[in-house]
Structures are given as structure tokens and as C-alpha cells.
Amino acid sequence: MKYIQEFREGDHVAGIYLCKQKNSAVTKNGKPYDNVILQDKTGSIDCKIWDVGSAGICDFDALDYVDIVGEVSSFNGALQVSIKRTRVAGEGEYDPRDYLPVSERDIDEMYKELLGYVGDISNHYLKALLDEFFVKDEAFIKRFKQASAAKSVHHCFVGGLLENTVSVANLCRYYAAKYPMLKKDLVVSAALLHDIGKVYEISSFPENDYTDEGNLLGHIVMGSNMVGKKAAKVEGFSKSDLLQLQHCILAHHGKLEFGSPKTPALVEALALSYADDTDAKMETFKEILENNSGNPGWFGFQKFLDGNVRATR
């Protein structure tokens, strides 16, 4: 199978691709046709099915994996695939990881790193709480590993939430070593849990869109609630510890106008908010550099960095 990135005008292509979008239209002459967007991990491409009723065209829907045959042409300067045959692929025929943007780091390796951080927690209750999520709750673990950290912006790929979580926890461990007034167990636990609400705020890949709960409550409140419920399962978990941990989660966006209902009132909450902000902005800059790799000049105004940027020479 050829990756979409490698498609060239005139190619005959055949293989399984993920259908990202599909909708029907009518030509000027009144003939129906389908607009389709196919995707793999290297990119996506516009496609047309001009003979929607032909024998070789089996019906399929958005988010199906579809085995297609087609021809690549150029229209208005962009490539386009004219699809001649389609067939919905069976589950064993493809590896979903070939079709989704995915973390550069190995997911299992990152998860191992995360479990190492959990293992370093000395406080019995906090460790037990983390185990409830990261060791015992298999449904949670499966979704957590797959989740992206965002619908758009940064860390927007399979494993993005895990990658961001490990990175923020790593920063907080460093802060705890550097600034002795920080309680290490609290700030690292808060870092590991700060975005768990995203597991249910954004639906799984390939859909990756806000859920109803996500839109109505948001991952900040959802994460705080999830911690509250698991803590109730840990015998002896004190109300005071729970409030402090929930506060760190609620305050981790740092300011009210960024969606935190409370500003940091504990030094660990302040540290976590800086770790999260730093990691998000560094990842954003990294992705901009990658998207412009090979460009020796200025990339133009970047909305999320509020200015024009370039690669360092």
C-alpha cells in the first residue's frame, strides 16, 4: 500500500484507507456523486466517486476502513483521487496505527515511565489512588493510552495525552527537587491526574471530537469528579488531601479566563500550572518547527505564539 503522502498525479492506487468524511452531491447535470476524504497517518486526500451506482462500489460510511482502487489526478493545483472500486475492510486486514497521527514515542514505553513515577510516590494514600486509575482500571487505562491531549492545537495524536502527562509529571518532579517547599508526592500525583478528564471529554480516535459531557462540564471539572469518586474507594484517604488534590486539578489552567474556576492557592497548584503551560507551548513550537522543516526563513505569524517565528540557526 502506498502512503497518501506519496501519491502523484497519474498514479493508479489500491489499498485500505480510513474514510474521514463522506457526503453526497449532484453535478450540474443532475448526476449524483460522492465526496470522500481518505486518510492515513501521512495525511489526507480529497476523492470523488463519480459512478455511485456501479457494481464495484460497495456502500461505506465515515470512519470505515475502506479498500479502494482509484486514479490520482490534479484539479485546481491539488491532487484528487477518482475512486473506481470500494469495499469495507475487515478488522484484521489493517493496523489502525497506520491510519492515525500517533506519538513519536512508544506508547508502552511512556506508560512504563508513568508507572515508574507512580511507584516513586511515598504517600500511601496518594499511591493507592493513582493505582486505582493507572493500575486497576483497565477500561480507563486503555482509553488513556489512546487519547489525544486536544482536539486541535498541540499533542493532537494517539498517545498525546499520555505523552503530555508524562512530560508534565517529569517537569513537576524536577520542580520538586529544585524548590524544596513543594510537597513532591502531591505535585507529582496532581501532574499525573491533571488531564484525566480528557479521557471522556474527547471521544476516541478516529472521531476525536468533544463529547456531550465534555462540552457541558469540561475536562477540568470531570477530572476533579473522577478523583473524588476513586478517592472514596481508598480507605482512609483524608478529606484534606482530597481537597488539595482536586484544587490542583481545578486550578491547573492558572487563570479564570483560561477556564479554571479557581486560581492556584497552593504552591503545588502553581507549579503544576507552570509545568502544563510550559509543556504545551514548547510542544506547540516543536510542532511548528516540524511543520516548517526545511524552511530556512521566517514562518509567518503564529496565532498560538502571538508572533512571527523561525528555526534557530
Within the chain, how many helices (H) and strands (E) appear? 10, 7
Classified as helix, coil or strand, 49 is: strand
What's the closest the beta carbon of residue 278 comes to a second copy, in angstroms?
Answer: 5
Q: Establish if 6 lies at the interface with a second copy (CB under 8 A).
A: no
Judged by CB under 8 A, the chain residues 171 through 200 that form the site for a second copy are 171, 174-175, 178-179, 181, 183, 186
Nearer to a second copy among residue 153 and residue 256 (C-beta): 256
**Grid-cell match 507552570, residue found:** 274
Question: 170 to each of 28, 166, 238, how far by Cα in Å?
Answer: 58, 6, 26
Judged by CB under 8 A, the chain residues 217 through 246 that form the site for a second copy are 217-218, 220-221, 224-225, 228, 240, 243-244, 246
Judged by CB under 8 A, the chain residues 49 through 78 that form the site for a second copy are 73-77
What's the closest the beta carbon of residue 258 comes to a second copy, in angstroms?
Answer: 7
- Kindly report the number of other CB atoms within 10 A of residue 209's CB atom: 11
- Kindly report the number of other CB atoms within 10 A of residue 61's CB atom: 9
Torsion angle, CA of 23/57/76/99, rounded to 10 degrees?
80
Asked if omega into 206 is within 30° of 0 (cis), the reply is: yes
Among 61-69, 114-122, 129-137, 205-213, which window interacts with a second copy (CB under 8 A)?
205-213
Among 13-21, 92-100, 126-134, 304-312, which window interacts with a second copy (CB under 8 A)?
304-312
Q: Establish if 292 lies at the interface with a second copy (CB under 8 A).
A: no
Among 121-129, 152-160, 199-207, 248-256, which window interacts with a second copy (CB under 8 A)?
248-256
Classify the C-alpha dihedral 77-311-308-161 as positive or negative.
Answer: positive
What's the closest the beta carbon of residue 12 comes to a second copy, in angstroms?
Answer: 15
Q: Establish if 247 lies at the interface with a second copy (CB under 8 A).
A: yes
Judged by CB under 8 A, the chain residues 109 through 168 that form the site for a second copy are 167
What's the closest the beta carbon of residue 267 comes to a second copy, in angstroms?
Answer: 5
- Kindly report the number of other CB atoms within 10 A of residue 185's CB atom: 20
Q: Establish if 104 lies at the interface with a second copy (CB under 8 A).
A: no
Q: Establish if 265 lies at the interface with a second copy (CB under 8 A).
A: yes
Judged by CB under 8 A, the chain residues 7 through 36 that form the site for a second copy are 9-10, 25-28, 30
Among 89-97, 125-133, 150-158, 271-279, which window interacts with a second copy (CB under 8 A)?
271-279
How many positions of this chain bind a second copy (CB under 8 A)?
73
- Kindly report the number of other CB atoms within 10 A of residue 243's CB atom: 12
Cβ atoms of 163 and 103 closer than 8 Å: yes
Q: Establish if 309 lies at the interface with a second copy (CB under 8 A).
A: yes
Q: Establish if 266 lies at the interface with a second copy (CB under 8 A).
A: yes
Nearer to a second copy among residue 208 and residue 224 (C-beta): 224
Residue-wise DSSP of 51-115: -TTSTTB----TT-EEEEEEEEEEETTEEEEEEEEEEEPPGGGS-GGGSS-B-SS-HHHHHHHHH
What the block records as the C-alpha cell of 149 is 491531549
φ/ψ of 196, rounded to 5, equals -60, -25
* Binding residue (CB under 8 A) for a second copy from 155, 267, 291, 295: 267
